[in-house]
Amino acid sequence: MIAYAARRLLSAIPIVVLATLIVFLLVSATGDPLAEARRRPGVATATIERREQQYHLDRSKPVQYVLWLGDFVRGDWGESFSTGRPVAATVRNAAWNTALLVVPAALISVFLALAAGTFAARRHRHLGDHVVNGLTAFGISMPEFWFALVLQLVFVIWLGQWFDLDLFAIGRKYSPGRQGDVLDLVQHMVLPVAALTITNVAIWTRFHRDSMVDALRADELDTARAAGIPERRVVRRHALRNSLGPFVTVVALDVGLLLGGVVVVERIFAWPGLGLLFVNALNTRDYPVILAWMTLAAVFVVVANVVGDLVSAALDPRVRLR
């Protein structure tokens, strides 16, 4: 297992480097990052020159990339063009806020998908299976932003108008004057987490259901049943374990791509995380923030895949031989 982990970690290094190169080239291809500052009246020439030197814009593209990558690895991500704050601190704060949504959404999605997928597989082609398939088809067909808007309409506007209930809140992380209030934080978190969870539960449930159907038909499970082992134990210790490897791989891939859904959901709920930070950076052409955000997103996807492979190898030793 240690050798496999070391092999996967070493193979991830060139992938991360290639990802950073692609991100750098894509962001650089958008044009001069200081073009707006050059046109803005009142910006001193010395300020422009200082930023050119700070971000190595006066050097060739290959040299820019090497110098930028060295600065990035050391934690020097520059300063935001729009706020003047260090990009590393800005991204770190936004990443923590995003983790408050993504981590609960991922954990809840995994639990519900395993439960619903197992339930449907054990009732293959019966009513319970058809109900689960219908719900998952609906969940997959509707985008996350639609669920976010519906959740706002039903649980904030309609509950407030019809029943005078104020159970949930929308708009930023805390209500004005309630910073640090855990209950207020939870009221703001529930709906964005639910919006991120619904689609993932639908996709993961469908995948796990299909994997469990195949696992329950395996010959070794028929042997276990013939030996008198209870069906519940057969499902839990054999079929579920055999289907977890592919399920973990899919979850790792989708968790790495959750940042795409976060961008939309955080924008709708005005949640101060990485998604809202990215949208604001695009609107203001904040070159250092965009570059850091996209690099972090690429690294996150690679790391999520490596973690998924390691978990799959722990569940199924045959994976280590590939």
**What pLDDT, in 10s, does the model give residues 268-283?**
998 999 988 988 888 8
44 pLDDT exceeds 90? no
| Interval 104-152: pLDDT, tens | 999 999 999 999 998 998 888 889 889 999 999 998 888 888 888 999 9
Computed from CA positions of residues 294, 297, 301, 302, in that sequence, does the dihedral angle turn out positive or negative? positive
**Over residues 237-264, mean pLDDT:** 77
317 pLDDT exceeds 70? no
What does the alpha-carbon distance between residue 248 and residue 215 come to, in Å, rounded to a whole number?
15
Averaged confidence pLDDT in the chain: 83
pLDDT for 122 equals 85
pLDDT for 296 equals 87
Q: Which two tokens stand for residue 133?
A: 């398939």
84 pLDDT exceeds 70? yes
Residue 108 backbone class (left: φ over 0; alpha: ψ -120 to 50; beta: rest)? alpha
pLDDT for 104 equals 92
pLDDT for 96 equals 92
**Over residues 230-252, mean pLDDT:** 78
pLDDT for 141 equals 87
pLDDT for 90 equals 92
pTM: 0.84
What does the alpha-carbon distance between residue 153 and residue 145 come to, in Å, rounded to a whole number?
12
Computed from CA positions of residues 169, 174, 175, 178, in that sequence, does the dihedral angle turn out positive or negative? positive
Q: How far is CA 57 from CA 22, 121, 281, 320, 322, in A?
A: 17, 57, 19, 45, 44
- Cβ atoms of 101 and 262 within 8 Å: the answer is yes
pLDDT for 199 equals 86
**Over residues 241-269, mean pLDDT:** 80
Computed from CA positions of residues 186, 190, 192, 198, in that sequence, does the dihedral angle turn out positive or negative? positive
pLDDT band at 8 (very low <50, low <70, confident <90, very high): confident
pLDDT for 109 equals 92
Question: What is the percentage of the chain residues whose pLDDT exceeds 70?
Answer: 95
Q: Which domains occur in the chain, in start order?
A: 2-321 (1.10.3720.10)
Choice between 135 and 172, residue whose per-residue pLDDT is larger: 135
Question: What is the percentage of the chain residues whose pLDDT exceeds 90?
Answer: 16
Residue type, 99: A
